[in-house]
Amino acid sequence: MASSLSRSLLRRLARPHKAFYRSIASSAVDEKISAVGYHVNGGPSFMRGTVFWEPNKPLTVEEFHMPRPKSGEVLIRTKACGVCHSDLHVMKGELPFASPCVVGHEITGEVVDHGAHTDSGIIKRFPVGSNVVGAFIMPCGNCFFCVKGQEDLCEAFFAFNRARGTLYDGETRLFLRSNGKPVYMYSMGGLAEYCVVPANALAVLPESLPYTESAILGCAVFTAYGALRHAAEMRAGDAVAVIGVGGVGSSCLQIARAFGASEVIAVDIQDDKLHNAKMLGATHTVNAMKEDAVDKIKEITGGMGVDVAIEALGKPLTFMQCTKAVRDGGKAVMIGLAATSAVAEIDITRLVRRQIKIIGSYGARARQDLPQIVKLAQSGIFNLKNTVSRKCKFEEANQAYEDLDHGKIVGRAVVEIM
């Protein structure tokens, strides 16, 4: 995923629109619904969720009151949740976020309920029992950017969810069963047995696609699609380099191939990831520990550099490599999140004279893009099986994040919750 906005910037974003956000809260029929006593169609009134308490401390599994959806929201029985570096940044204290919280933002599941007074069109589109996939950016659908079709910049998402850990009425849907205390939500708080998702962030998942592997469509593939479709505006015949080919980077390789790239160059420092990249569509691989990545990319492209380079790690060194790897007039697209203090250098004169374009990209546009991503997956264009390199149980989530932190996961790990 891409660069993060600071808390102060989020507050500044929200200020001009306070009246708008107040109108969202005041229009909610049930301003503050107690979670206590809510049953799903006569079923359970509580669930388990995995809680992050403070940086560098292990996650714990806790019991919650059943999360209750409000108008325009859907309650999902979570089937699978991806293990993403964005969660890890929060867990390590590198990105500020409200705590305690439930992490996990890359989910598939089954619709089990709708919020009171939800529009009939939403209920018809996502009936109880239907399979769905959720995007990590959950657009409000009404702010300045959503109306312009730029849902990946949704003001409500950043001002409420990323700044406060809530949904758009300013409240979480998660409350501990033991004492009723609130727990915040990173996106939908997907690393739990049930989660509440705004309907704008959902797409129907065809029965032909598996729950587990399809979880990556909502973040890893979603982020890759947004980077190449919108930020890079990639065209057939472009040469593309991807620096960092983990879960998101390996999805970039497949999107680039699907969009007709002439060359797809995978750059990493682990041979096992580069081997996997070849199976996912890379035409060339570069081990940056063994050779100069920029020099090798230029050698492969006849001295020119690539039309599009994607940086998927969020590190100052790879940021600089990404800008140097593109041809004159080329596009360097940054999707890797970094610690809030991280900065990177760039050759200013080359940037100006050779018209290098540096673009940040954070996810994609849920209502426009997620259904298209599902269609591409259904067509077989993605090798979901090879991208998901590990499946683990709910109780093994902690170990999965630890292994991710130590570079032991080749592609994407997914927690099976079903």
Block mean pLDDT (10 aa), the chain, length 418: 40 42 40 61 88 93 97 98 94 94 98 96 97 98 96 97 96 96 98 98 97 96 97 97 95 96 97 94 97 98 98 96 97 93 92 97 97 94 87 94 92 92
User: For position 37, what pLDDT does the model report?
Assistant: 65
User: For position 325, what pLDDT does the model report?
Assistant: 98
Fill in the amino acid letter for 142: N
pLDDT, tens digit, 9 for 90 and up, residues 69-78:
999 999 999 9
Q: How far apart are CA 85 and CA 44, in angstroms?
A: 32
> Is residue 301 classed exposed, middle or buried when 0-12, 13-18 and 19+ CB atoms within 10 A define those classes?
buried
Which sign does the torsion angle of CA 79, 398, 336, 268 carry?
negative
* Antiparallel, parallel or unpaired: β 73-83 and 107-114: antiparallel
Q: What is the pTM of this model?
A: 0.89
Q: How far apart are CA 237 and CA 260, in angstroms?
A: 6
Q: How far apart are CA 7 and CA 375, in angstroms?
A: 36
Q: Which residues on neighbouring strands pair with residue 188, listed in sequence order?
A: none
Distance of CA 207 to the CA centre of its chain: 23
Residue 263 has φ and ψ, to the nearest 5°, of -135, 135
What end-to-end distance do the CA atoms of the chain give, in Å?
26
User: For position 316, what pLDDT does the model report?
Assistant: 95
User: For position 36, what pLDDT does the model report?
Assistant: 62
User: For position 235, what pLDDT does the model report?
Assistant: 97
Q: Which two tokens stand for residue 59?
A: 């996650």
Q: How far apart are CA 216 and CA 218, in angstroms?
A: 5
Q: Where are the beta strands (DSSP E) in 161-254?
A: 174-175, 182-185, 194-198, 202-204, 239-243
Q: Which residues on neighbouring strands pair with residue 243, listed in sequence order?
A: 267, 311
User: For position 11, what pLDDT does the model report?
Assistant: 43
**All residues at 6 or more sequence positions from 27 whose CB lies less than 8 Å from its CB, including other chains:** none
User: For position 387, what pLDDT does the model report?
Assistant: 87
Among candidate residues 59, 46, 266, 86, the one with its CA nearest the CA of residue 174: 46
Which sign does the torsion angle of CA 381, 383, 387, 390 carry?
positive
Helices 293-300 and 316-325 pack at an angle, to 10 degrees, of 20
User: For position 5, what pLDDT does the model report?
Assistant: 37
Q: Which two tokens stand for residue 343?
A: 């900065």
CA dihedral 116, 119, 121, 123 (to 10 degrees): -10
The rounded radius of gyration (Å) of the Cα atoms in the chain is 21
User: For position 339, what pLDDT does the model report?
Assistant: 83
